[in-house]
Amino acid sequence: MVADPRAPGAARPSRLNQPRAALVDEAFDGTPCRVNRQPVVAVREEWRVVDRWWTEEPVSRRYFEVVLESGQNVVVFRDEERGGWYSQRGA
């Protein structure tokens, strides 16, 4: 028997495309050159998000959409408030 996800008390599915910690090697300018030990062959796009600076939990991130040697598109970002790199699947 499969549980009804709409039932009271049912576990909610985790957020889709939730960021995960990533192992990123950076070039001299801060752009990723390896993601999870895979070489980056192209940086397709770069952007910054600065938001909620007026709160106790500001967001400051530098995002990159990269293509790995395997052909996989990955979005990685450096969390400039807390430190560390994270990855998300690209389109």
pLDDT digits (tens, 9 = 90+) for 1-17: 555 555 565 555 556 66
pTM score = 0.75
> Residue 91 pLDDT > 70, yes or no?
no
pLDDT given at position 7: 58
Tens-digit pLDDT profile for residues 19-73: 889 999 999 999 999 999 999 999 999 999 999 989 998 999 999 999 999 999 9
User: pLDDT: is 87 or 10 the higher one?
Assistant: 87
Q: Rounded distance, CA 56 to CA 45, Å?
A: 29
Number of neighbouring beta carbons within 10 Å of residue 64:
22
Tokens for 71, please give them. 């052909």
Torsional class of 17: left (φ above 0), alpha (ψ -120 to 50), beta (otherwise): left
Distance CA 75, CA 89 (A): 6
